[in-house]
Structure 1
Amino acid sequence: MQGSDIGPRVILREYVNFYARSAWLLTFLALVIFGVSGFYTHGRAYQGRYKAAMVAQAVTLSYLTFVFCNYIVNHEVPVPNAAIVLAYVFTVTILVGARLWSRVWGSVMRSEQGRKVPADERSVQRVLVIGGDGYIGSALLPKLLAKGYHVRVLSLLLFGTEPIEGVLNHPRLEILRADFRHVDKVVEAMRDIDAVVHLGAIVGDPACALDEDLTIDVNLMATRMIAEVARGAGVTRFIFASTCSVYGASDEILDEYSALRPVSLYAQTKIACERILATMATEDFAPTFLRFGTIYGLSGRTRFDLVVNLLTAKAVVDGEITVVGGDQWRPFVHVDDAAESVARALMAPLSLVRNEVFNVGSDDQNFTILQVGELVQSLVPESRLVSWSSDSDRRNYRVSFGKIRSKLGFSPRWTVQRGVSQVIHALESGRVADYRDPLHSNVKFLSEEGIDRLERRHHNWAHELISELPLHLAEDAAYSEREEVVTRLRGETLPHGMMRPDLGPPAIEGAASLPPS
């Protein structure tokens, strides 16, 4: 070949032809030598420069062997020495560089995975609802699913699946049927969860009075365990269902700064839970406390042991509305609005709900029991209103709901009048067959069917904690000056250094380090 005929295209063609003729040999030799060098066995455990040295050594041996074989067979190397050297350098650079890049990239990825995402930046996609088949829970599930959340329910399903049958086959709903007092089931339920809504409890004063040990175990002991598992699993948001019953009895209009004066075991357990959860709060674990007013209205599992629903049912079915006492004040909220407040707390910026208490209801739905009876009678005019004087129910409280309105923009859509009309229609249409059915009453269901299906356990520390929350059976002058209470609470500091102006009386010393269950 003449020098004038040699150009880049000719050289490239010759190299391609050489590669086509000899690539199989170089590839075969490289595989054998890399294998003999231990690259595919013990060398896989080598890191950094040790693996790079092994790769360079294997590549060098592969090229030397290749050149030697070509020389033995053909008595010459079919390409210039410079080409062999360049190919060798290129191969070593690519392989060693790939190994080093793999190490650098892996380090970067591990660093990114280990980077602590601030709690405020974590999005909520998967929600665990404990007790999601109850009065509020059965109203909450459709809302969460409609908003795009993946929802897991942890419950014994004591009332069956009927309360949630409308969403039972939803692709983003998962049901774990288990007792939420069992830590192994809670750990299982907490897998891949971003937020917890804890609605599970024995609810209501009469139901809680049936078995005090069981009530303390279910309401208090389980709550602390669930919160500990949630915090350990990296869950940021923990929404706890509390009650306005914690205020007990007062002639004042009460807000989240007011003193807590329980008159029942039910209220005591809720206060104890609030205090324990508050002491557990950290930068990455943010409990929110929703103190619901007295619930009314229809849901998947409607209760008729609550005043609005009960008086309405008695008016429609029995023709008589019996009011005992009548001058006791109550704040009311529809079950659908209660469920909406939970969704609002989930969606709110974490800075607005972190370790905060919210009364849930509206200022214009504070009524006396007698006023509710009169409202029901106006909508069921053929019924008769009977009032009996009694002081058996000591609860008496009017509540302010300005905080949840200003911070979360929450205002109930329902009124008591609309709720009564809703219940009337359900009774007259047959949607509710028998309001006296134990399924519609917590105390009836537990006393007749449910209580024997629950395992009983006793925990000394929980009873000691409850004993530190004495029942307020009479007016206490020390709490009558609201401004004094507010001043004291605003200066209170929790063990973690957080200011807690919204949780009533001081947290119990050492509550965060109580003995394990």
Structure 2
Amino acid sequence: MIANIKDFRFTPEVWVRVGADALMVALSYAAALLTHFLLVAQHGEPVLPVHYLQIFVQSVWILLPISLILFAASGFYTRGRAYRGRYKMLVVAQAVTLSYLVFGFTAFLLADWLNPPRPVVFIALLYTLILTMGSRAFVHLWEILRENRQAQTSSDPIPTLPRPEKTILVIGGAGYIGSGLLPRLLERGYRVRLLDLLMFGKEPIAAVLHHPNLELIQADFRQVDKVVEAMRGVDTVVHLGGLVGDPACALDENLTIEINLVATRTIAEIAKGMGVGRFVFASTCSVYGASDMVLNERSGLNPVSLYARSKIASEEVLHRLQSDSFSVVILRFGTIYGLSGRTRFDLVVNLLTAKAVIDKKITVFGGDQWRPFVHVDDASLAVMMAVEAPKERVHNETFNVGGNEGNMTLGQVGELIKRLVPEAELIDSGRDGDRRNYRVDFSKIRLVLGFEPQWTVEKGVRQVIEALQSGKVRDYRNALYSNVKFLTEETSSDAVKQYYTGWERELIERAHKTHPEETPPVVAKA
């Protein structure tokens, strides 16, 4: 409850919801007093209406603060949009019941001054339950009907923008997702410009390296002159660059801030200044951190790592820069798995599969923790759809990328791999300190963009097994397959590092708790 109070923010939407709940509580209490008055009058007992009016005026101003504070503490105005079905009704029922218990106890303590008839408290509780639960059930039903109508509309082919005339800049396009995205864009007829330092060499993009529509600029995207050069004549920017993953970002906090946040703002400012119309940014579902609820794009954020906080801060920066002519599209990817031009084996599905095939052991830490899994091919497909969708569908929108069936616990992943590699031993080693635990709702990207994952976790595991058994992947422990290993073992220790104490640090610290639907205050540029 304390966490929900800390998350509380006064936004126009919250004011409307608080006001609606206050009205329902007041009406319920007034109706309860009226009901008691009519019952007493029906039995012929002498009663005065003004006496009940006096009780209402004296006590409603105590009932309302108690109710609204407990409603807020229960998450009505912070995480309420993440509640689903029976769980939501249970939370509402508990909060309302607790409110009237506290009110009844307060009335008992102040009996000489505040003394509503005891049956009134019980009757008001019933009326409030009916109104609060009924109103939320109605809203939930209305959203289902609206989504069904959107789904029917979205069943038609998604119109796409003209392709051959567009030039797309892909930053960090030789990495895990980018090496799968480049072939898709080139096959669709786009002119593609790639800005990448090629830390992992040219092998990840070898298949398209000599494509006539691909232009390569090998440079660090922190170099402003190179970014300006790459941005000339570009219609759309896809920013996939950055330090990815909790372990890699934890190696050097200042370097992570420089690469993931400072460079992102610089790139976006240059893009906006040079007339780029669309900016697609790769974020992560790790921003949700730890929660027992199913989370959508409007749910509260609860980051538990520097990596997640750097992405939240970057999202805030981009939201400030967006305008009618500069559309920001944020894609929050689930936990990715599968093979691409630059495959990673520091991700849980790929790593556990490799250990099962090579080491004959599947060691699971925190088997009850939930993750939303998405194949790297589906991730690149989502990026392409965000590039091609009409402006009205994606303008300044955030999308979770994945499919609802991809939500699995780590224990379920281990059991799946054990079934496909039966000779491996499945070991549950308990928690390892990773506090992430989240399930994600992917309805928005399906309804708005028509995105449907083409891969399942089982299909992806089979793909990795085949690559290991065929020798396509010779040593999954090689530093090339791990971001953190590559940074610690292969890169130069003389990498440029800058240390920040200004707007960057403030955003990272504030990103510990934030809400995507809020408009953050403007922070002056350092």
CA distance in 1, matches of 2:506, 2:230: 29
| 1:460 corresponding residue in structure 2 | 501
CA RMSD of aligned residues (A): 1.5
| 1:18 corresponding residue in structure 2 | none
Task: Show CA shifts across 1:90-111 (max 9, x none).
Answer: xxxxxxxxxxxxxxxxxxxxxx
SS of corresponding position for 2:317: helix
| 2:307 corresponding residue in structure 1 | 266
| 2:247 corresponding residue in structure 1 | 206
Structure of larger gyration radius? 1
| 1:320 corresponding residue in structure 2 | 361
| 1:311 corresponding residue in structure 2 | 352
Aligned residue runs from structure 1 range 58-457, under 5 A? 125-390=166-431, 392-450=433-491, 452=493, 454-457=495-498
| 1:52 corresponding residue in structure 2 | none
Q: For residue 468 of structure 2, what is the amino acid of its counterpart?
A: L
CA distance in 2, matches of 1:382, 1:181: 47
Q: For residue 319 of structure 1, what is the amino acid of its counterpart?
A: K
How far is the alpha carbon of 1:154 from its aligned partner? 0.5
CA distance in 1, matches of 2:231, 2:347: 32
2:522 is equivalent to residue 510 of structure 1: yes
How far is the alpha carbon of 1:451 from its aligned partner? 5.4
How far is the alpha carbon of 1:468 from its aligned partner? 1.7
Task: Show CA shifts across 1:314-335 (max 9, x none).
Answer: 0000000000111110000000
CA distance in 1, matches of 2:310, 2:187: 32
CA distance in 1, matches of 2:396, 2:483: 30
Task: Show CA shifts across 1:309-360 (max 9, x none).
Answer: 0000000000000001111100000000000000000110011101100000
Which stretch has the larger CA shift, 193-202 or 388-397? 388-397
How far is the alpha carbon of 1:402 from its aligned partner? 0.1
How far is the alpha carbon of 1:508 from its aligned partner? 2.8
How far is the alpha carbon of 1:390 from its aligned partner? 1.6
SS of corresponding position for 1:514: coil
Q: Percent identity?
A: 60
| 2:68 corresponding residue in structure 1 | none
How far is the alpha carbon of 1:121 from its aligned partner? 8.4
How far is the alpha carbon of 1:182 from its aligned partner? 1.0
Q: For residue 218 of structure 1, what is the amino acid of its counterpart?
A: I
CA distance in 2, matches of 1:400, 1:150: 34
CA distance in 2, matches of 1:276, 1:325: 34
CA distance in 1, matches of 2:494, 2:185: 30
CA distance in 2, matches of 1:467, 1:338: 29
Which runs of 5 or more structure 1 residues have no equivalent in the other structure? 1-119, 473-478, 480-488, 490-502
SS of corresponding position for 1:170: coil
Q: For residue 455 of structure 2, what is the amino acid of its counterpart?
A: W
CA distance in 1, matches of 2:205, 2:425: 35
CA distance in 2, matches of 1:183, 1:144: 25
CA distance in 2, matches of 1:241, 1:211: 21
CA distance in 2, matches of 1:164, 1:352: 31
Which stretch has the larger CA shift, 452-461 or 143-152? 452-461
Task: Show CA shifts across 1:470-489 (max 9, x none).
Answer: 3x7xxxxxx9xxxxxxxxx7
Q: For residue 256 of structure 1, what is the amino acid of its counterpart?
A: E
SS of corresponding position for 1:289: strand
Q: For residue 168 of structure 1, what is the amino acid of its counterpart?
A: L
How far is the alpha carbon of 1:458 from its aligned partner? 2.1
Q: For residue 288 of structure 2, what is the amino acid of its counterpart?
A: Y
SS of corresponding position for 2:455: coil
- Structure 2 CA distance for partners of 1:179 and 1:371, relative to 1, 3 Å: same
SS of corresponding position for 1:394: coil
Which runs of 5 or more structure 2 residues have no equivalent in the other structure? 1-159
Asked whether the equivalents of residues 161 and 390 of structure 2 are also in contact (C-alpha less than 8 Å), the reply is: no
